[in-house]
Chain A
Amino acid sequence: MTDSTLKVAITKKLNHFQLDVDFEVKSGVTGIIGPSGCGKSMTLQCLAGLQTPDSGEIWLDDQVLYHSGDRINVKPKDRKIGYVFQNYALFPHMTVEENITYGLKGKSHEEKKQRADDMIEKVQLAGLEDHYPEQLSGGQQQRVALARTLVTEPELLLLDEPFSALDYHVKHILEQELIRILEEYYTGTVLLVTHNMEEAYRLCDHLILYDQGQIVQSGKKEDVFQRPATVRAARVIGCQNIFPVQSVTEPGDHLVCKIGDLNLQIPSQPVPEAVDHMGIYAENIHFKKAGDDTANLFDFTIAESLKGIHRTRVTIHVENAVSLTASVPNEEVDSLSQEGVKVELPPSHLFLLANR
């Protein structure tokens, strides 16, 4: 197994919109993220050959898997693609061992057993060979699903919402386990689909943001999350504060963004033509006592607050210019109403957004 390059350019008409994507994926873990029903899973199914696009091409290295012009559509069984399904899709009437050997065709019984046993050892399922999927925990089921796929040595591994079927408290353990197994035993390209942003950030190196069947942004995960480029991208990654900007000027060594009567400072940067919005994460809005020599300190009034387990979501009006949502640790909520406390919008955490 070596690094593989996946090239995809496909269109497919779906119920409410058209899937129309064009991307390239190299080694490492790439995440396709977006809201439910944005075409993520459909993309994976097209890659695996379980669904046929309306038009386009799919290439894995120099092998064509699908080409509408040349009428090529390689069958799923011949694509050398591994697929871990949302609910694992383990065969309920087969034991762990039978599940894992299912994809090993055309090999002697001994070789199948040998390879399955190797894999069972690697994913720490020894002793469970004769169990049925129903008798396994969610984590064990996930390992069987992974083992069943990895034993076939796929060139591309597709993971469809691998954690959505799990209880909250086991999720983070299994994330670590998945990362360990992939790092140790799989060097090919991984494409992961999820609608959970935190999960995507923890597991992936690169991200492709989907919305309504289109790619709104892609790149390194840090860039995508910290520098969303458009309003759509910011919405998809769950940025709570997106607000219109009247003008952006450069009076000195920084930019000034005008929002109503408010002037926000941000570091100098190239400003694309279509910029007319700004954004900031709720977690990046801070509160400070006045008097500090900090940029972007403003008066505010609290409009609404909703207490969560660890943090409280506070809606504030900033100098009657804009309403923002901040996420404040519960123990600090009381200090917000103290005399002289102001809201700080750190310049480096504010990003400009283009409206397309």
Chain B
Amino acid sequence: MAEGINLFPLFLSFRVALTATLLAFIIGIPIAYYLNRSNGRIADIIDTFLTLPIVLPPTVLGYYLLVLFGRQSSIGRILEEKFDITIVFTPTGAVIAALVVSIPFLIKSARSAFAGIDPALLNAARVLGRTEFNIFLTIILPLAWRGIAAGITLSFARALGDFGATLMVAGSIPNETMTMPIAIYDALLAGNRDLVNILVLIMTVVSIAVLYIINRLEKKLNKGQPL
């Protein structure tokens, strides 16, 4: 491994984290919106299950995903036979693992951002003749944007840093499913301290840069928009 550094884990990690965050946004925002609007028992149950990934050890979560999507499961079989998608020990599996561990953060943040909006604003918009979907786009999203952006940041950070769940579902196949955190552990086991140091440094610098950019972006988007 002395012959230069393999940057594949870095790129894979970012690809996985970005994809997972994008999916978390698409899936998470409607769920957060639904949870904010309803306070029935069903919403509570859904909320409990969506919070579970924060509490459960990542390995436990990874094991559940293995059972759910593995070749022995009906879901895994259907995905493989009908759609030619294999989850276990593939980058797709890494994305799913990252998605599951990170989506609760986005949902929690977005939900509280939605809850922070004065219901009178929504009523005002309704009386002024707008449809619910239109109100979501023109009032709710812009006003909740700060909270959602914070949720995106948190969820991206969690996806980028996942070790346990990813290892369980996607394994650690070099140049295929080996993400940064796993590569670091791998190098440490191999006694390659130089490589560990370099990878850790890259991971740290890149993480700081990404968080900083997201923070700036968030500020810029809110410019001229008093709270």
Contacts and interface: CB of A to CB of B under 8 A. Distances in A.
Interface of A: 45, 48-50, 75-79, 81-83, 85-87, 89-93, 102-103, 105, 132-135, 148-149, 152
8 contacts: A45-B123, A76-B123, A77-B127, A77-B131, A89-B118, A91-B124, A132-B225, A134-B227
Given A92-B143, A134-B227, A76 B126 contact: yes
Contacts of B138: 102
A133 B130 CA distance: 20
Interface residues of B, number: 20
B128 interface: yes
Contacts, number: 68
A83 B123 contact: yes
B226 A89 contact: no
Contacts of A105: 129-130
A50 B126 contact: yes
A87 B119 CA distance: 12
B120 A93 contact: no
Interface of B: 118, 120-121, 123-131, 138-139, 142-143, 224-227
A93 B143 contact: yes
B55 to A, nearest CB: 35
A119 to B, nearest CB: 14
Contacts of A86: 120
A132 B143 CA distance: 14
Given A92-B227, A132-B226, A50 B127 contact: yes
Given A91-B139, A93-B142, A83 B124 contact: yes
A152 B127 CA distance: 10
Nearest to B120: A89
A85 B123 contact: yes
A78 B126 CA distance: 9
A321 B143 CA distance: 63
**Taking each of A76, A82, A134, which has the highest tally of chain B beta carbons within 10 Å of its own beta carbon?**
A76
A149 B127 CA distance: 9
A48 B127 contact: yes
Contact of B124 (A45, A49, A85, A135): A85
A89 B129 contact: no
